[in-house]
Structure 1
Amino acid sequence: MKKRISVLLLCCIVFISGCNMPGQDDQKIKKLDPEKLDSETTDINDRADYYEKYVTEPGDQMDEEERSKYRVTLHMVYKNAEQYQQDMIIFLRNDNVVEGSMDVGEPDIGLLPGVFRVISMMIEGHDSNLGEIEILEPGMEYTLTIDYAQKKAILSDYDEHK
């Protein structure tokens, strides 16, 4: 009988301590599903619900250190930007929520994961769509090149030595 109680007690301790094991936080920081965010069958409400469940709610439960690990860092490169020094770049999620904005010349921005339309406020007068980017994996770093000659935003892997 004592052995059974000891085994049961040991199982309870292992179960309880297992709930706080390192790596459990990683479960709330998952790569986003592109099919749930950008497919022919999703509408704006589906995307908004998905962001709420997998980006906003987990983000609300994180402390600042966890949120910084969750954010995606974009290292900005501006090509042919001489006449656009007063431009502002806006990151509009594909559920029409503005996630961030920055002035041309700023080197980095941290965004929560998602699918974004990158908008220039000055090309062609105002609100020019420079294209869509997908930054679906939390904690990653990318280079985002804003090429004013091509009127495009180009996402690429981050290379520290650039």
Structure 2
Amino acid sequence: MQLAAFNRIDAEAARAVVRPCVDIDRWVDALVDGRPYSSMEALIEAARTRALPWTVAEIDGALAHHPRIGERASGTSAEASLSRSEQAGLGVQREDTAAALAAGNRAYEEQFSRVFLIRAAGRSAEEILASLRERLTHTDEEEIPVVADQLRQIAILRLEGIFGS
């Protein structure tokens, strides 16, 4: 989508454009209400600042739509398509790495009661596994800012992808 078109479309259509980036109403509404944007840089900066801070409830609500790392997102939604694209770089994993990711996902969910979230784009399965293991040493208070940062990174990457930047 072109930024000029995003600036002109009605609010409901604009919400539909940005919601697949992260399903947090306050963030979506802030980006839509902030139009018109003079440049992609202005839109990206707004996206970054409107994400500070996200509440635990907002994070948990947004994570309800995220598949586990290493699992293929199902469905035909824009968000599922973006997730599949982001995890495509993981490629075919070694059997031991895939098993370790699955076990790590389970351990993370048991410890934090949410899916493990990491910006997969640009990372190998081994890098993700190392991060997962490190994050399992966190307390919930230590982990929340990390999850929020990963969610922000994913939202920005998706936004850049939607606008082709």
Q: TM-score, normalised to structure 1's length?
A: 0.29
Structure with greater Cα Rg? 1
Which structure carries more strand by proportion?
A: 1
After TM superposition, the score normalised by the length of structure 2 is: 0.29
Return the structure number with greater helix share: 2
